[in-house]
Amino acid sequence: MSFIFQLLGRNIRKDLVNRPALLWPLVAAGDPSPGVTFSVATSEPDAASIAIATGARAVLVAVRDDLAPADRMAIALSVKEAELGLADGALALILEIAGPGAALQLAHNLPASRRLAAIGIDLDGFSLGATGTVDAPRSVAAGFVALAGAALGLPTYLTGAGSLSPSGTPAVAGFTHILVNLDGNARSPAASGSRRTTGLLR
């Protein structure tokens, strides 16, 4: 199934809107290529390499406990660029925070990779507060992601159940995009039972 990064507003700086990696469809590793340049969701370098051979030019790595899988992917993408004779940074990396450990590491170790194209958060990786109370884990983690994006000058996105309020507005302010399927529903790997392996980017 393909997903798209949907812009959340019109008054967003153009340099945060026109990032190529956010204009391409996103597919899961192993899914058929959409026949155009695309992004692939995987934390496995071998799966990323296969997708790159069929047209992927960005890799989304979801990290739950720490940022190590994203670090490994950044190295693998650098090696792949050299193998293919591509310019440094031609293969982009999208970092998705999908759990509390990764959110805390993001708060203490701001990513510095030049290939980083966007930072997002999968809200399904965080517990919900009790009904009628402030949802602190999600709010704090989303705040870390929004702050990291602002500090690095990168687009930020939301995904997972609860990304949008019933009125259709973002559940958390400070984000430029939402990751949705073609029906407009937020991508939710946790809900489908396909939670990806997670890790950290330095």
Q: What is the pTM of this model?
A: 0.87
Decide if 62 contacts 28 (C-beta within 8 A).
no
Structural contact between residues 142 and 125, judged by C-beta atoms closer than 8 angstroms: no
pLDDT tens, 86-142? 999 999 999 999 999 999 999 888 887 789 999 999 998 887 665 555 578 888 999
Tell me the DSSP string of 51-114.
Answer: HHHTTEEEEEEEESS-SHHHHHHHHHHHHHHHHHTPPTT-SEEEEEE-SHHHHHHHHHS----T
The CA distances from residue 38 to 23, 137, 143, in Å, are 9, 32, 28
pLDDT in tens, 26-74: 999 999 999 999 999 999 999 999 999 999 999 999 999 999 999 999 9
The identity of residue 86, as a single letter, is L
Tens digit of pLDDT for each residue in 140-189?
999 999 999 999 999 999 998 888 877 777 888 889 999 998 887 776 55
- Domains of the chain: residue spans and CATH: 3-181 (3.20.20)
